[in-house]
Amino acid sequence: MGPANPWLLSNCRLEEGCHLFDSMFVVLISKFFTRALHHIVIKISIAMLSKKLVSCVILDLDGTLLNTDGVVNDVLKALLVKLGKQWDSKAAHKIVGKTPYEAAAIIVQDYGLQCTIEDFGSEITSLFSDQWCNIKPLPGAERLLKHLRCHGVPMALASNSPRVNVESKISFHPGWKESFSAIVAGDEVRSGKPSPDIYFEAAKRLNVEPSNCLVIEDSLPGVLAGKAAGMEVVAVPSLPKQHHLYTSADEVINSLLDLQPEKWGLPPFQDWIDGTLPLEPWHIGGPVIKGYGRGSKMLGIPTANLSTEAYAAVLSEHPSGVYFGWAGLSTRGIYKMVMSIGWNPYFNNTEKTIEPWLLHNFNEDFYGEELHLTIVGYIRPEANFSSLESLIARIHEDGRIAERALDLPIYSRYKDDPYLRCTLPGAW
């Protein structure tokens, strides 16, 4: 047997060295990613621990659970016209979260009314009482109450309104009164919000420490009251473009649809499906109008705008955000669509708009055609973006989410909604 081939020997040693190097490399990479993952887990844990875990939830009523803004505007408008004045809805922020007496005092003074605060308060209370039956729950309110009730989370209701008004309002919503372990009204404490009295009393009736309570509020006085009581507070501002004022809140969300109970140690919702939240279907429709011209020109995403004036009431009932569903065009057919409702913070709109994007390539415009929409789900809240590119990328992602979701049976069945077909040729 001849001498070993030195080239083969060196090649074998080289291969052994390579395997050794590979093993060391894998170990180093593994350690690197293990440490990186460890740091990520620590950061996530710290972020979660920065929010206190709670055992009870205390909710405000008007503007948080009930959509009273529309009724308030309508009643004030009618009453002030009767008194020879014109109600300015832009001044609504002055009375949000106030007690009825405080709100009446502000209006009497601001409008120079020739009546006492008591007389004005008495007349407007009577008008409001006639409208309690027409006040609808805000989106996500029924869902939240049912979720917390099913998981045995104690709840209290804390409202600046008098007890008789609170009882009357919730009487039109079956199961609400029974959902609350305690109800505290403004006339049952020494001082209303922003004083913490009402929240201290709610915690007392729940037999828990204030620090174990999560408050959900829409008004700034309510947020201040909750924090003054030493509670965790989630703000859901009822007035548009007011988020920046709620710096004292522990979290500010766009609507109750965006609440994540697990952040506070409460049971999470289990009803999200592939990045979407199923909703009770609602409808909107009308002729397609010209919008700002940004969709096609700036974004490369042609939207079919609808009039905001014709649907002001519908817009007030639904929070800003990205929704999806089905669109029926009068002369063309039915298509998947994703839609934004809101103020478009990147462009800083001055009015709330509806901008559906039909997920189909059309060869021409269809201004003036009748468009009917059936909205079946929710994707996310309205958000601002640091660049036009990031906005466009997010819109396309919303489109992909809607495209996939609408193939699911829970959503696809609404393609046959008669509302969509009533504008099509030959439809009944």
Q: Which residues are tagged catalytic?
A: 60, 62, 355
Which is more confident, 280 or 6? 280
**Which residues make beta-bridge pairs with 277?**
378
Give every strand in the sheet of 277-287, ordered side by side: 277-287, 370-380, 321-329, 333-342, 353-358
Q: Which of 66-70, 186-190, 373-377 is least confident?
A: 66-70
| Position with higher pLDDT, 331 vs 29 | 331
Predicted confidence (pLDDT) at residue 7 exceeds the cutoff of 50: no
Buried b (16+ CB within 10 A) or exposed e, 17-56: eeeeeeeeeeeeeeeeeeeeeeeeeeeeeeeeeeeeebeb
Is 50 exceeded by the pLDDT of residue 233?
A: yes
The CATH number of the structural domain formed by 56-64+135-264 is: 3.40.50.1000
Averaged over 76-89, what is the pLDDT?
A: 85
Q: How confident is the model at residue 291 (pLDDT cuts 50, 70, 90)?
A: low
Report the pLDDT averaged over residues 24-47.
46
| CATH 3.40.50.1000 domain residues, the chain | 56-64+135-264
Confidence of residue 187 (pLDDT cuts 50, 70, 90): very high
The residue to which tokens 């593994």 are assigned: 30
Residues of the chain with CATH 1.10.150: 69-132
pLDDT tens digits, 114-127: 889 988 888 888 88
Enter the pTM of the model.
Answer: 0.81
pLDDT of residue 142: 98
CATH class of 277-421: mainly beta
Which pLDDT band, with edges at 50, 70 and 90, does 256 fall under?
Answer: very high
DSSP for 242-271, please give it: -GGG-TTSSEE-SSGGG--GGGGTSPPP--
Under the banding of pLDDT at 50, 70 and 90, the label for residue 299 is low
For residues 28 and 339, the model is more confident at: 339
Is pLDDT of 64 > 50? yes
- pLDDT, one tens digit per residue, over 342-386 is 886 666 666 788 889 999 988 777 788 899 999 999 999 998 888
- Would you call 129 helix, strand, or coil by DSSP? helix
- Say which residues have a Cβ less than 8 Å from residue 396's Cβ, sequence separation at least 6: 301
Fold classified for 69-132: DNA polymerase; domain 1 (1.10.150)
Q: What is the pLDDT of residues 213-226, one digit of tens each?
A: 999 999 999 999 99
If you average pLDDT over residues 285-301, what whole number do you get? 70
Residue 77 CA, chain-centre distance (Å), reads 27
358 touches 373 (CB < 8 A): no
| DSSP classification of residue 318 | S
Is residue 76 scored above 50 in pLDDT? yes
DSSP letter for 240, please. T
pLDDT attached to residue 12: 44
- Residue 395: pLDDT band (50, 70, 90) is very high
Kindly indicate the confidence band of residue 278, based on its pLDDT and cuts at 50, 70 and 90.
very high
| Cα maximum dimension of the chain | 123
pLDDT reported for residue 330: 82
| Predicted local distance difference test score (pLDDT) of residue 328 | 94
